[in-house]
Amino acid sequence: MNEQKLRTIRQRFDGENARKIYDPRFAAVASHIFDDAGTRVAPFAGLPTLLDAPYRSIDWRAPDLAGVDVALVGVPMDLGVTNRNGSRFGPRAIRAMERVGPYNHALKLMPSADRSVFDLGDVPFRSRFDLSTCHEDIERGAQVLFPATVPLFVGGDHSVSLPILRAIGAAAPVGMVHIDAHCDTAGPFDGEKFHHGGPFRQAVLDGVLDPERTIQIGIRGSSEYIWEFSHETGMTVIHAEEIDQLGIPAVIEKARAVVGDGPTYVSFDIDSLDPSIAPGTGTPEVGGLTSREAMALLRGLAGINIVAGDLVEVAPQYDATTNTAHAGAQMLFEILSLVALTPRE
């Protein structure tokens, strides 16, 4: 580098231009984050919310949702687990994660600038002890939010997806991109069919989920024998080991073809990630996705018609590093970014 180049760089980026951002896209993002003095809110300051979205208290009996495009909602319930409990603490752990977003460099957008996004708190439960009433309360909460908003739910165990889908697919069954270690289409366990291993079986039987517009990605483990419902009803199942053979672009292409342009639900179970990355979950399975692969899969869905979604099964007490909650918050941010890219009607 010669002296002339150094002088040019200094003139452009030092002195009175030290805080100037020339790229109009980056300048627009910075204008939402920095004040006139060049200060931004410290990531460790203030009250924690989902993805640092502003908190908005609502009356769930008569909610005012004016001005809310995307509703982020916690679902702290794990009465449907078949093994390790603790995902009731998932929403709180994800709220505590800092420095996730607000800019998505891969998709080149700031979702909170393109949509009005609020953390509406948690679904209110009448009882912490009864699974059936909890599911009723979740369905009622989803009915409150949809279709006035695009709701994104943070669980909680995966059984929460069933009552959400009952609300989202009430008028017509929706398609689904389901990223998970397990198909979650099993039959009853111990006389109970509403556990976290079977929400999508029941959603199809209830007529709210279209199996032929459903793709399940990352499936693995030793429970294939209880998931024949997925194959028999026309769901597309891509096992974890197939991802290496097909490649991420081919999996994305398949997912987009399966769901088409119809209303689509996105469900992301954190145990889709390998437990070396996300050990804090109730049913870990070795051989899973890396966080980079999962982000690439989600980003490849840009432009599909997402009407709602969830991020589930973060059980933070099994992870002393907080990596699982951090990964969960990042996946939630990726789904939010997709919502921002969903064409408006």
Concatenating the DSSP letter of every residue in 259-300 gives: HTTS-EEEEEEGGGB-TTT---SSS--SS-B-HHHHHHHHHT
Cβ distance 278 to 178 under 8 Å?
no
Phi, psi of 132 (to 5 degrees): -65, -45
In the prediction, which pLDDT does 140 show? 98
SS3 201: helix
Half-sphere exposure of 51 (CA within 13 A, CB side): 33
User: Which amino acid, residue 263?
Assistant: P
The residue whose two tokens read 């899973």 is 288
Token reading at 68? 């809310």
Angle, helices 248-259 vs 291-299, to 10°: value is: 40
In the prediction, which pLDDT does 193 show? 86
pLDDT tens, per residue, the chain with 345 residues: 899 999 999 999 999 999 999 999 999 999 999 998 889 989 899 999 999 999 999 999 999 999 999 999 999 999 999 999 999 999 999 999 999 999 999 999 999 999 999 999 999 999 999 999 999 999 999 999 999 999 999 999 999 999 999 999 999 999 999 999 999 999 988 888 899 999 999 999 999 999 999 999 999 999 999 999 999 999 999 999 999 999 999 999 999 999 999 999 999 999 999 999 999 999 999 999 999 999 999 999 999 999 999 999 999 999 999 999 999 999 999 999 999 999 876
Question: Which one-letter DSSP state was computed for residue 225?
Answer: G
Whether this model's pTM surpasses 0.75: yes
In the prediction, which pLDDT does 17 show? 94
Separation of alpha carbons 20 and 79, rounded Å = 52
